[in-house]
Chain A
Amino acid sequence: DVKVTQSSRYLVKRTGEKVFLECVQDMDHENMFWYRQDPGLGLRLIYFSYDVKMKEKGDIPEGYSVSREKKERFSLILESASTNQTSMYLCASRLTGGLGAFFGQGTRLTVV
């Protein structure tokens, strides 16, 4: 079974802190994604990566950056956390041409 693991289930950070959300997948998928999920807004794509060191902006990249130094790991970085970044963050991976995407369990981030 594909496993996508996010480093934390719950995080509480202070405004202005630098925050790292880590995601690791074990199925050698080329593509990895970061989404944010907010009530009534569904899943919105922040960034995705189709290969090591490659990244593309999604629909809402402002305030975020990403890093993909190894194929299995995709990190989401909040350079200076703000309260409007309080949300559920979901990581996913996908094989190019494969069936669907596999999701991590989510990280609920609260910025106070």
Chain B
Amino acid sequence: GEDVEQSLFLSVREGDSSVINCTYTDSSSTYLYWYKQEPGAGLQLLTYIFSNMDMKQDQRLTVLLNKKDKHLSLRIADTQTGDSAIYFCAETWAGNMLTFGGGTRLMVKP
């Protein structure tokens, strides 16, 4: 598979913005994804971006894609304690496979 890398941990205060970063390697990825995993649960698709877009906004979430640098980021505005979770970025490769990063644990302090 391809390599997808993320930092392991991020801590923010409630009400601040969170930015989770990811680098990937497959330049042919059609879609890139962000998944959220709450404690003890499976992964839930949070948002995605098509590879010909630079930015996508969905309420408090903003996804930025820099194809030249193969860098993807997820910004969460007005972070809440309910946003505490592990966030995975993922890319498609070989048309059908998904490769996941190692996950970033977001901790939101009251």
Give the B-binding residues of A (Cβ under 8 A): 4, 31, 33, 35, 40-43, 45, 48, 50, 59, 90, 92, 94, 96-97, 99-106, 108
Contacts and interface: CB of A to CB of B under 8 A. Distances in A.
Interface string B63-101: 000000000000000000000000010100001111011
Given A40-B8, A42-B88, A106-B40, A101 B102 contact: no
Contact of A41 (B33, B96, B102): B102
Given A42-B102, A100-B31, A50 B43 contact: no
Secondary structure at chain B's binding surface: helix, strand, loop or mixed? strand
Contacts, number: 55
B110 interface: no
For the residues of A in contact with B, the DSSP-based class is strand
Interface of B: 1, 8, 31, 33, 35, 40-45, 48, 88, 90, 95-98, 100-103
A90 B1 contact: no
A52 to B, nearest CB: 16
Contacts of A41: 102
Nearest to A10: B40
